[in-house]
Amino acid sequence: MKVKLRRFTGREFVTTEYEVETGENPTVLEILTKIKEELDPSLSFRAMCRASVCGTCAVKVNGEHRLACNTRVNGEEVLIEPVDGYIPIKDLVVSHEEIYDGLRRARVWFVPREENLTITPQELNKTSRAWDCILCGICNNVCPPLLEKRDFGGPSLFTKIYRILEDPRDSLGEERLNGLTALNAQNCVHCSNCNLFCPKGCMPERWITVIEGKLTQKGYIQKKTEDFGFLGF
Ligand code: SF4
Ligand code: SF4
Ligand code: FES
């Protein structure tokens, strides 16, 4: 298989080509590993678990954002590139600092109540999809308002927040909700790209809609009503 790699050198992007002997339907991660082990040890990419769990291996495969470890390819040629939305560091590796920074700024961690509350299976079920988020950042890379302007929290951050917001054991309640105003949930254009490309089926847009509704109801934000021109992403 002919493999084209768009790599960041530290100054610019270059495309290099490799002829790789693969088995049938290899994963993108298998291809990258083979290139590194047999053809070009200088190649840098991120991966750890090889099982869609660690969230580190997102790349673009033939123009679409995917996890390298769970994306199989066939055919004679494949193009692998770094993701669009984050600062490139080397080859296919991009900085994830912005993701972690967002989590820190929005205080996305559980602050338990003093009393020992239990949670029902029904309450847990409400957030089970959001719990599956592996912070791969793919949803952020296909989110038009986030790519255009960084004043929107973005789908991965809202997915993480939703889990805690709906948990009766969290003590921050109203204070947590009020703190979300700066993330501009109303900037979501509900294009559903995040739902479509999330490799774990987390449905970020659904949770943003819920959070937007809560914030609107409390008067913290005003729902946008204008037409958006970039839905055909
Ligand atoms: S639905 Fe909202 S959060 Fe998801 S990609 Fe579209 S604009 Fe971004
Ligand atoms: S919501 Fe999905 S696409 Fe977004 S970071 Fe989490 S796992 Fe990745
Ligand atoms: S290597 Fe961990 S998610 Fe792909």
pLDDT at 14: 98
Q: Give yes or no for a contact between 22 and 1, defined as CB atoms under 8 angstroms apart.
A: yes
Q: Ligand 1 atom 6: the closest Cα is on which residue? A: 191
The response to whether residue 111 sits with its C-beta less than 6 Å from ligand 3 reads no
Average pLDDT over residues 82-104: 96
Whole-number Å distance, alpha carbon 201 to ligand 2 midpoint, is 8
pLDDT at 11 (0 to 100): 96
Chain-centroid distance of CA 218 in Å reads: 28
Flag whether pLDDT at 227 surpasses 80.
no
Tens of pLDDT along 51-74?
999 999 999 999 999 999 999 999
Distance in Å, CA 141 to ligand 3 centroid: 17
Cα separation, 77 vs 1, whole angstroms: 6
Asked if the domains at 2-94 and 97-217 fall in one CATH topology, the answer is no
- Looking at all shown ligands, the one closest to residue 136's CA atom is 2
Options 3.40.1160.10, 2.40.160.20, 3.40.50.720, 3.10.20.30; which CATH number does 2-94 get? 3.10.20.30
Does the pLDDT value for residue 223 go beyond 90?
Answer: no
Instruction: Domain 97-217: give its CATH superfamily.
Output: Alpha-helical ferredoxin (1.10.1060.10)
User: Which range is least confidently modeled, 37-41, 67-71, 174-178?
Assistant: 174-178
Beta carbon of 211 within 6 Å of any ligand 2 atom = no
Mean pLDDT value across the chain: 94
Q: What is the pLDDT of residue 215?
A: 96
